[in-house]
Structures are given as structure tokens and as C-alpha cells.
């Protein structure tokens, strides 16, 4: 209660400083105009920069979570394998990424890998007008076709980075399963892949759900960093809006609220998942 009072006092103090000392003119309307605007031609509401940025961030979060989960699951399993080569690969991957600051990793990835790799894979030559690309689903899932390569490099970068941490969570989950479970599975003649799929992974996943949720929320928040390689997500566009309008406080408070809503929603979904998983094991 005392803590809550303290926080409230701090907010009031900051607000007072902003108003009376900086003589700041609050004007939400200009910033809100960048969330959505009325299209002059059609007369309908359309999303503007901030909302578009939020959508891109959601797309990044969605695909990033899936991609990072897949990479993390495979690498995490390799960490526990008997095969030395697989252990070396996964260990190197984890150590490399965990011991480089995210910012540095992103620059290295962007300038050395994606700028070399993507043209080699023919990603730059994708026909933007082909029906595979120029359709409603593609726009919904990946955003503007013109920005696709840009989006992909941001996505892969983010997923690779977060997957290193997921790898370690998965490894811990697999190793937390009692040796007796492996033995019992083997004793009834399950093959290794069946053993993993039916016995080990289902139990490991239930155990690692809470740290996994935390990591996925971190992924959403870390997606802000890839604004530095010009991926047009929320933070990148917010910088532009703040610069254009000069309304720094309003812009960033609004953006913070958007991130909060997104992460909180994600945490809520995961908490429900966890409860459901908990019910069936007991």
C-alpha cells in the first residue's frame, strides 16, 4: 500500500515537472492521428503508421515465436543427444549468441549474413506481382510484399537470437525428466523417436511452460531492437512519428501501452495453457 502511494506520488511529481517546468503542451490528437486516419478519397478509417507498426510487431511476434520454438526444440534436443557432433553444433550456437550483445549480433547478422544470404537464395527476386505474393492472405500474414525481404531478415534475426535461450530451457526440461521414464519406455520396446514424442517431450513441455512463456514475452519486447535494421515495426515507426510531430511523450506513452497490451495478452493466454496442462497431469 505504501509502495503504491510512492508510485502514485512519483507519477504526480513527474507530471507536475513536465507541465510547470518544461511547460509542455500536451496534445494527444496529433499522435492519435497517426494511429488511424480517415482516408481522403474513400472517406473510411484506415490504419496509420503506429497501427501498421503494431501489426508488423504482432506478425514478428507470431512468426518469431513459432520459428524460435522450432529452432529451440531441435537445438535443445541436440544438446542432450549422445552424438558428439550434434552436441558441439548446438553448444556452439548457444554460447555464440548468449555471449554477444543482441545489438551487435543483429548488426553482424544484417550486414554480413542477410545481405549475402538472401540474394543468394533469390529472396530479392521474388515477383511482387505474382498471385502467390500479391494476395490478401500474404498481406495479412507478412505485410507489404515490397517490405518482405526486410521483414524476413528481421524475423530470422530475432528468432535465431531468442531460440538460443529457448534451447537452454528445452535442454533443462528434457534433462529434468526422470531416468526411469526413458528406461520404462525402452523396456516396452519404444523406438527413440517414439520415446521422445510420446513420453519425454510431452512431460518436458509441461514443465518448461512458465519459463517458455517468459521467453516468448521477451521475444516480443526484443523485437523493438530490430528497428535498428529498419524493419518497419512499432518502435521504428514510433521514432518517425515522434520526430514528425514533436510529441515525444505522447508517442512513447502510447507505444508503451501498445506493447504492454500485447505482452499482457500473451501472458494471459499462456497462463491459461499452463492451467490446462496442469489439470491433466496432476
Partner 1 sequence: MTPSPLVEISGLCKWYDDFSALYDISLTVAEGEKVVICGPSGSGKSTLIRCINQLEGHQQGSIRVAGQEVRPGMKGIEAIRREVGMVFQSFNLFPHMTILDNLTIGPIRNRGMGRAAARALAMEYLNKVRISEQADKYPPQLSGGQQQRVAIARALCMQPRVMLFDEPTSALDPEMIAGVLEVMETLARDGMTMIVVTHEMGFARRVADRVVFMDEGEIVETAPPEAFFSAPRTNRAKLFLGQLLAH
* DSSP-assigned letter for residue 167: H
Quick one: 116 or 194, whose CB is closer to partner 1? 194
Q: With contacts defined by CB under 8 A, how many residues of the chain interact with partner 1?
A: 21
Q: Given candidates 85, 125, 131, 282, which one binds partner 1 under the rule CB under 8 A?
A: 282
Quick one: 123 or 177, whose CB is closer to partner 1? 177
φ/ψ of residue 144, rounded to 5:
-55, 130
Nearest to 95, CA basis, from 167, 28, 144 = 167
* Smallest gap from residue 127 Cβ to partner 1 (A): 46
Quick one: 44 or 179, whose CB is closer to partner 1? 179
Quick one: 144 or 274, whose CB is closer to partner 1? 274
* Smallest gap from residue 183 Cβ to partner 1 (A): 5
Nearest to 232, CA basis, from 162, 180, 175, 154 = 154
Q: State the CB neighbour count (10 A cutoff) for residue 103.
A: 11
* Smallest gap from residue 205 Cβ to partner 1 (A): 10
Return d(Cα 72, Cα 191) in angstroms, integer.
Answer: 23
Q: Which residues between 170 and 229 bind partner 1 (CB under 8 A)?
A: 178, 180-181, 183-191, 194, 198-199, 202-203, 206
According to DSSP, the residues that pair with 45 across neighbouring strands are 38
* Smallest gap from residue 73 Cβ to partner 1 (A): 17
* Smallest gap from residue 177 Cβ to partner 1 (A): 10
Could you tell me where the DSSP H helices lie in the chain? 2-16, 28-32, 49-79, 84-98, 102-108, 115-121, 136-142, 148-175, 179-187, 192-194, 201-222, 234-245, 248-281
Quick one: 124 or 198, whose CB is closer to partner 1? 198
Residues that bind partner 1 (CB under 8 A): 178, 180-181, 183-191, 194, 198-199, 202-203, 206, 280-282
Amino acid at each position: 500500500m505504501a509502495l503504491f502511494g510512492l508510485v502514485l506520488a512519483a507519477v504526480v511529481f513527474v507530471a507536475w515537472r513536465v507541465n510547470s517546468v518544461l511547460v509542455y503542451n500536451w496534445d494527444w490528437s496529433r499522435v492519435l492521428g497517426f494511429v488511424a486516419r480517415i482516408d481522403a478519397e474513400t472517406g473510411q478509417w484506415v490504419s496509420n503508421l503506429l497501427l501498421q507498426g503494431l501489426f508488423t510487431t504482432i506478425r514478428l511476434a507470431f512468426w518469431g515465436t513459432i520459428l524460435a520454438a522450432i529452432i529451440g526444440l531441435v537445438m535443445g534436443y541436440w544438446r542432450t543427444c549422445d552424438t558428439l557432433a550434434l552436441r558441439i553444433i548446438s553448444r556452439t550456437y548457444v554460447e555464440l549468441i548468449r555471449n554477444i550483445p543482441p545489438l551487435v549480433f543483429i548488426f553482424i547478422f544484417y550486414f554480413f549474413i542477410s545481405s549475402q544470404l538472401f540474394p543468394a537464395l533469390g529472396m530479392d527476386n521474388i515477383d511482387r506481382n505474382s498471385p502467390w505474393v500479391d494476395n490478401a492472405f500474404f498481406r495479412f500474414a507478412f505485410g507489404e510484399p515490397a517490405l518482405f525481404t526486410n521483414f524476413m531478415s528481421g524475423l530470422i534475426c530475432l528468432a535465431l537470437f531468442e531460440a538460443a535461450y529457448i534451447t537452454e530451457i528445452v535442454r533443462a526440461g528434457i534433462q529434468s525428466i526422470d531416468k526411469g521414464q526413458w528406461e520404462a519406455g525402452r523396456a516396452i520396446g519404444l523406438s527413440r523417436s517414439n520415446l521422445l514424442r510420446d513420453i519425454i517431450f510431452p512431460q518436458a513441455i509441461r514443465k518448461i511452460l512458465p519459463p517458455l512463456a517468459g521467453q516468448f514475452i521477451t521475444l516480443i519486447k526484443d523485437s523493438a531492437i530490430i528497428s535498428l535494421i529498419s524493419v518497419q515495426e512499432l518502435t521504428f515507426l514510433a521514432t518517425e512519428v515522434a520526430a514528425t510531430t514533436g510529441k515525444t511523450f505522447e508517442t512513447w506513452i502510447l507505444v508503451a501501452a501498445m506493447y504492454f497490451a500485447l505482452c499482457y495478452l500473451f501472458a494471459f493466454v499462456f497462463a491459461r495453457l499452463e492451467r490446462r496442462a496442469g489439470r491433466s497431469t496432476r
